[in-house]
Amino acid sequence: MDFEIVIISAAAKDLATDESLISFIDISENLGIRIVVCESAMNYFEVKKSDYHKSIETTPDGVCVVVWLAGKWI
């Protein structure tokens, strides 16, 4: 089973600015958990891809990703 964390809120900014989250990001990466951040949230909170840990991915629309993932399990 694959796991993904999709960030579609203010957490988009927290992931870029809160250094206490780095250990959790590293653990997620080691466990094979993908972290995907919504680019719309990034734009709203003025965060650039380069502000994130190297393992964090982005998507144009996080809500669409959540809906698509939910559809995989129906």
The pLDDT score that the predictor gives to residue 74 is 65
Count up the domains in the chain and report the number: 1
Please list, in sequence order, all residues whose beta carbon lies within 8 angstroms of the beta carbon of residue 61, skipping any fewer than 6 positions away: 38, 39, 40
H or E stretch at 6? strand 4-7
Plot region of 53 (φ>0 → left; ψ -120 to 50 → alpha; else → beta)? beta
Q: What is the mean pLDDT of residues 34-45?
A: 96
CATH code, 12: 3.40.1260.10
Decide if pLDDT at 13 tops 80.
Answer: yes
Angstrom distance (rounded) from CA 51 to CA 13: 9
Decide if pLDDT at 66 tops 70.
Answer: yes
Question: Domain residues for 47?
Answer: 4-72
